[in-house]
Structure 1
Amino acid sequence: MKFKSMVAVPVTAVLVVTTTMPTMAATDVEKQAHAEKIIYSSQNVLEEILSDPKTQIPSELLEQSEGIAIFPGVIQAGFLFGARRGTGVMMLRQEDGTWSNPAFINITGGSFGLQIGAKSSDIVLVFPNRSTVNEVLSKSFDIGGSVSGTAGPVGATAVDPTEDYSKSPILTYARSSGLFGGVAIDGSKLGFNKGKNRDLYGKSITPRRIFRDPDVEAPVVVDSLRQVLEESELGTFSRF
Structure 2
Amino acid sequence: MIKSLSQALPLAKIMSLAFIISLLSPLTLLTSAQAASDAEELVGESRYTLEKMLNNPDYAKLKEFTEQSKGVLIIPQLVKGGFIVGGEGGSGVLLVKGSDGTWSNPAFYTLAAGSIGLQIGGEVSEVVFTLMNQGAVEAILDSEIKFGADLSLAVGPFGAGVEASTTANLDVDIYAFSSSVGLFGGGAFEGAKLFTRESYNSSYYGAGATPKAITLERVYTNPHSEKLRAALP
Alignment partner of 1:100: what SS?
coil
Residue in 2 aligned with 1:38? 42
Residue in 2 aligned with 1:212? 216
Contact 1:58 1:157 (8 Å CA) reproduced: no
- Correspondent of 1:133 among 133, 137, 141: 137
Runs of 5+ in structure 2 lacking a partner? Answer: 1-17
- Correspondent of 2:227 among 213, 224, 232: 224
Contact 2:54 2:63 (8 Å CA) reproduced: no
- C-alpha deviation, 1:101, in angstroms: 0.7
- Correspondent of 1:99 among 94, 98, 103: 103
Contact 1:67 1:128 (8 Å CA) reproduced: yes
Alignment partner of 1:200: what SS?
helix
Q: How does 1:85-234 map to 2 (within 5 A)?
A: 85-110=89-114, 117-145=121-149, 147-152=151-156, 153-154=158-159, 158-160=163-165, 163-177=167-181, 185-220=189-224, 222-229=225-232, 233=233
Contact 1:148 1:170 (8 Å CA) reproduced: yes
**CA deviation string 1:158-195 (max 9, x = no partner):** 5536x45332111012211179xxx9521111121111
Greater Rg over alpha carbons, structure: 1
What is the TM-score with the length of structure 1 in the denominator?
Answer: 0.75
Residue in 1 aligned with 2:82? 78
User: Quick check: 51-60 or 92-101, which moved more?
Assistant: 51-60
What is the TM-score with the length of structure 2 in the denominator?
Answer: 0.77
Contact 2:59 2:177 (8 Å CA) reproduced: no
Q: Within 2, Cα distance between the matches of 1:79 and 1:106?
A: 23
Which is richer in helix? 2
Alignment partner of 2:59: what SS?
coil
- C-alpha deviation, 1:206, in angstroms: 1.3
Count, aligned residues: 209
Letter in 1 for 2:230: Q
Q: Within 2, Cα distance between the matches of 1:80 and 1:99?
A: 41
Letter in 2 for 1:154: G
Q: Within 1, Cα distance between the matches of 2:60 and 2:174?
A: 17
Root-mean-square deviation over aligned CA pairs: 2.9
Letter in 2 for 1:167: D
**CA deviation string 1:4-48 (max 9, x = no partner):** xxxxxxxxxxxx974555554343222211110011111111111
User: Quick check: 70-79 or 99-108, which moved more?
Assistant: 70-79
Q: Within 1, Cα distance between the matches of 2:141 and 2:188?
A: 22
Alignment partner of 2:58: what SS?
coil
Residue in 1 aligned with 2:11? none
Runs of 5+ in structure 1 lacking a partner? Answer: 1-15, 234-240
Quick one: percent identity of the two aligned structures? Answer: 30
